[in-house]
Amino acid sequence: MKKSILTFGLLSTLLLSCNCSEDKTAETVVETVEVCTFNYNAESTVIGWTAFKFTEKKGVSGVFDKAEVLIANPSQDMLQTLAGASFTIPVSSINSNNPVRDEKLKNSFFGTMESTEIISGVVKSISDSEAIIEITMNGQSKDYTGTVSTDGLKVSFSTTLNMTDFEAQHAIDSLNIVCSAEHTSEDGSSKLWSEVDINVETTLVKTCK
């Protein structure tokens, strides 16, 4: 019996000695978190438009070759980079791939409006499905809600303007007069619609540190 007790005591002492000598130093793991911001890239931006002529409403498309966009600050949220952005578009940069038509648009359409050397506006809000854009033209400002879509870093926005919202029916009529032959359908009617589809695409720049 005494031998058993002595043996148990020796084993216990040996186990305690092993535990005490074990190195329990904890390793500190430092995790690096990457922070990414998004910014606007003017060279990637395309501002497209489609106007409509003929009774059957055939589209005529083009772009504006120039635009100045001012972004408040880069953001860690891709879409919020564009929130609050203001823009100006010189109407002289309109491009329908038809120089004769472009001169008529500049002179007989925009040229009949009040203070419309530029179209201006601001992005009032934006989400992953829609945005509200304020547009100013012919001395009038109007909010438009449009559709937003994303593909990687590319952001697209589309909406439909109506020139009557800017009190610009006279500009539609003026252009339709000088382009009457080009706007006449087989039914003999000359028609230029007041609706204009707008589509804007831009690809943001992502920077991570």
The pLDDT profile of the chain, 209 residues, written as one tens digit per residue, is 544 544 444 445 544 555 544 555 556 666 677 899 999 999 999 999 999 999 999 999 999 999 999 997 789 999 999 999 999 999 999 999 999 999 999 999 999 999 899 999 999 999 999 999 999 999 999 999 999 999 999 999 999 999 999 999 999 999 999 999 999 998 899 999 999 999 999 999 999 98
The pLDDT of residue 58 is 96
CATH number at residue 133: 2.40.128.110
Q: What is the CA radius of gyration of the chain?
A: 33
Residue 27 lies in a domain: no
Cα-based distances in Å from 35 to 76, 119, 128, 177, 207: 8, 36, 21, 57, 8
Distance CA 127, CA 156 (A): 12
pLDDT of residue 34: 85
Residue 188 lies in a domain: yes
23 within a domain of the structure (yes/no): no
Cα–Cα dist 29/23, whole Å: 18
Spatial strand order of the sheet with 68-70 comes to: 68-70, 86-90, 118-126, 130-137, 140-151, 154-162, 192-203, 46-53, 58-64, 94-95
Contact 58, 193 (CB under 8 A): no
**Is residue 11 a part of any domain in this protein?**
no
Q: How many domains does the chain have?
A: 1
Residue 182 domain boundaries: 49-208
pLDDT at 27: 64
Within a domain: 62: yes
Residue 72 pLDDT: 76
Q: What's the distance, Cα to Cα, between the start and end of the chain in Å?
A: 71
The reply to whether 148 falls in a domain is yes
Q: Which two tokens stand for residue 182?
A: 């080009």
- Looking at residue 7, its pLDDT comes to 47
Asked, for residue 162, whether it belongs to a domain, the answer is yes
Whole-model pTM: value is: 0.82
The per-residue pLDDT for 51 is: 98
23: exposed, middle or buried (C-beta count within 10 Å: 0-12, 13-18, 19+)? exposed
